[in-house]
């Protein structure tokens, strides 16, 4: 599954969990870019039972979900005697992915100690700010709403050496976030880039309509 020698270097998609307490714990670079993404967008429109003028109003950025399938394979590492691949297979990559939806053990231990002392902490811990990176034009704050892992092969120590992961991501927009959250401005910058590309595409389309043999 390696790239052909001399092939252009490809940008790699990634999921990155930004956690100040452990910045390297959740960095998942896709070993092989998924061949396809499924994106679903649902407009946030005014309510149908409201005033007639309100039904056409946009109440915020659309709700977007992204689905993809990522493949992880330690075969190349096993052939080159890579230390991590030979001792752990793809277990580290899968663990980094799973840590995006685990509370940190430090928090759990602290809660255990507080509970033993008769003190309970009500507020649940914040999940790390998770970014879906798909090229320079698409760096999106997301919520990992769920995923499934199919482990397909194992080494002699039962470490998975091949796995297929199906991911479901909910994009977080400024409609979902507080203004104090850095992800608010990250999504806003993404929309500005999208608006620029939409303008470029529309200009080209207008030129095609004007220059073509179009009957209205």
pLDDT digits (tens, 9 = 90+) for 82-113: 999 999 999 999 999 998 988 888 888 888 88
Average pLDDT, the chain: 86
pLDDT score for 102: 87
Spatial distance between the Cα atoms of 20 and 204, rounded to a whole number of angstroms: 44
- Residue 33 clears pLDDT 60, i.e. is over it: yes
pLDDT score for 48: 62
Predicted structure pTM score: 0.81
Spatial distance between the Cα atoms of 81 and 63, rounded to a whole number of angstroms: 45
Q: Report residue 117 as tokens.
A: 């002392």
Confidence of residue 7 (pLDDT cuts 50, 70, 90): low
Spatial distance between the Cα atoms of 69 and 169, rounded to a whole number of angstroms: 11
């Amino acid at each position: 599954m390696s790239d052909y020698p001399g092939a252009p270097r490809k940008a790699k998609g990634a999921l990155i969990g930004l956690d100040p307490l452990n910045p390297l714990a959740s960095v998942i670079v896709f070993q092989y870019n998924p061949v396809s993404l499924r994106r679903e967008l649902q407009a946030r429109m005014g309510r149908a039972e409201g005033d007639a003028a309100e039904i056409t109003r946009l109440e915020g950025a659309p709700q977007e979900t992204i689905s993809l399938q990522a493949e992880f394979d330690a075969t190349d590492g096993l052939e080159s005697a890579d230390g991590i691949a030979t001792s752990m297979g793809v277990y580290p990559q899968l663990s980094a992915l799973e840590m995006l939806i685990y509370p940190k053990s430090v928090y759990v231990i602290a809660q255990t100690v507080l509970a033993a002392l008769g003190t309970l902490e009500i507020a649940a811990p914040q999940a790390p700010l998770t970014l879906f990176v798909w090229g320079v034009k698409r760096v999106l704050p997301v919520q990992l709403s769920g995923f499934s892992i199919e482990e397909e092969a194992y080494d002699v120590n039962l470490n998975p050496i091949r796995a297929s992961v199906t991911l479901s991501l909910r994009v977080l927009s400024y409609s979902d976030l507080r203004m104090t959250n850095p992800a608010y401005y990250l999504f806003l910058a993404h929309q500005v880039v999208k608006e620029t590309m939409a303008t470029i595409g529309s200009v080209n389309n207008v030129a095609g309509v004007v220059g073509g043999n179009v009957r209205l």
